[in-house]
């Protein structure tokens, strides 16, 4: 599949999609900043009394269950149902699914009861949602996942959605195909919240680009290229995780004005499902 990253970045900047993020309280500021830096408008309504109205007026809805609670579950369901009624794309980030029965139940409920445009999770989370065994410690994926492309396709088929599986090599999958994204840098793993920020990125691109597969591919590639640019110190000196975090956000904001590889050079179809 051909993806024009420049065109996608311009679409986000031109549309300035309003993205309502019901997200965890650990990375809420990082999520808001990344939505803004791509060119979107973040709003973090997480009150069940108003979230339906806010989501209905938005262009995308992110549901991140990083700090899941009973009230948070109700709010996410209300937000997702409102988004479905209004035709607003929903992106689910099932943070920590596989680590507790509560997270397993909430993630399955969000993915099954809502019409979800995309699911973004790490290798372990996507594997758990697909119905296979995975190793999860807290909210981190551990273990080996040598067949993640096949697993991501299975997850996409199970929930009729686009799947982004983040790891050493990110994978974007639909029910018909899987693509490896060779973009990013190991320093991204030194910062808490990059997974949440990738989910926010996918939601922001989905709010501006009608085709969710294109939005997921473009957002994932752009996210990785920003990580590379920050590590290459194109946006300031990097001395450790703190300065890298700042440089990364600057790279997100400045990617449109930076020289970067064409998206097709970083996307490889690795699996195609025969009909």
pLDDT score at 139: 46
Query: Model confidence over 39-96: pLDDT tens digits?
Result: 999 999 999 999 999 999 999 999 999 888 999 999 999 999 999 999 999 999 999 8
> For position 200, which CATH number holds?
3.40.1190.20
Q: Is 120 annotated as a binding residue?
A: yes
Query: Model confidence over 136-157: pLDDT tens digits?
Result: 554 444 456 678 999 999 999 9
Sign of CA dihedral 33, 11, 58, 223: negative
Q: Is 193 annotated as a binding residue?
A: yes
| Domain membership flag for residue 61 | yes
Q: Which domain holds residue 16?
A: 5-270
- Assess contact for 184 and 203: CB atoms under 8 A: no
Q: Is 249 annotated as a binding residue?
A: no
Q: What percent of the chain has pLDDT over 90?
A: 88
| Domain membership flag for residue 22 | yes
Collapsed DSSP state (helix, strand, coil) of residue 174: coil
Query: Model confidence over 189-242: pLDDT tens digits?
Result: 999 999 999 999 999 999 999 999 999 999 999 999 999 999 999 999 999 999
Q: What total of structural domains would you count in the chain?
A: 1
| Domain membership flag for residue 225 | yes
Q: Is 141 annotated as a binding residue?
A: no
| Domain membership flag for residue 226 | yes
Collapsed DSSP state (helix, strand, coil) of residue 41: strand
pLDDT score at 136: 54
| Domain membership flag for residue 275 | no
- Assess contact for 93 and 199: CB atoms under 8 A: yes
| Domain membership flag for residue 47 | yes
| Domain membership flag for residue 161 | yes
| Domain membership flag for residue 108 | yes
């Amino acid at each position: 599949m051909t993806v024009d990253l420049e065109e996608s970045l311009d679409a986000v900047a031109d549309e300035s999609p309003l993205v309502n993020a019901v997200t965890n309280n650990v990375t809420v500021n990082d999520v808001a900043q990344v939505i803004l830096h791509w060119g979107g408008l973040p709003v973090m309504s997480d009150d069940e009394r108003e979230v339906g109205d806010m989501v209905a007026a938005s262009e995308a809805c992110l549901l991140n269950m990083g700090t899941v609670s009973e009230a948070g579950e109700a709010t996410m369901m209300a937000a997702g149902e409102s988004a479905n009624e209004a035709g607003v794309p929903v992106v689910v980030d099932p943070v920590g699914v596989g680590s507790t029965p509560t997270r397993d139940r909430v993630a399955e409920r969000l993915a099954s009861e809502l019409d979800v445009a995309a699911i973004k999770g790490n290798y372990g989370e996507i594997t758990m949602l697909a119905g296979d065994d995975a190793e999860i410690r807290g909210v981190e994926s551990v273990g080996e996942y040598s067949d993640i492309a096949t697993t991501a396709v299975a997850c996409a088929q199970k929930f009729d959605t686009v799947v982004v599986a983040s790891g050493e090599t990110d994978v974007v999958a639909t029910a018909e195909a899987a693509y490896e994204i060779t973009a990013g840098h190991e320093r991204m793993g030194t910062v808490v919240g990059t997974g949440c920020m990738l989910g926010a990125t996918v939601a922001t691109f989905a709010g501006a680009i009608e085709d969710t597969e294109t939005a997921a591919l473009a957002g994932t590639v752009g996210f990785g290229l920003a990580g590379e640019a920050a590590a290459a110190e194109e946006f300031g000196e990097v001395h450790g995780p703190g300065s890298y975090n700042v440089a990364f956000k600057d790279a997100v904001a400045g990617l449109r004005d930076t020289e970067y590889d064409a998206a097709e050079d970083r996307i490889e179809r690795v699996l195609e499902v025969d009909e």
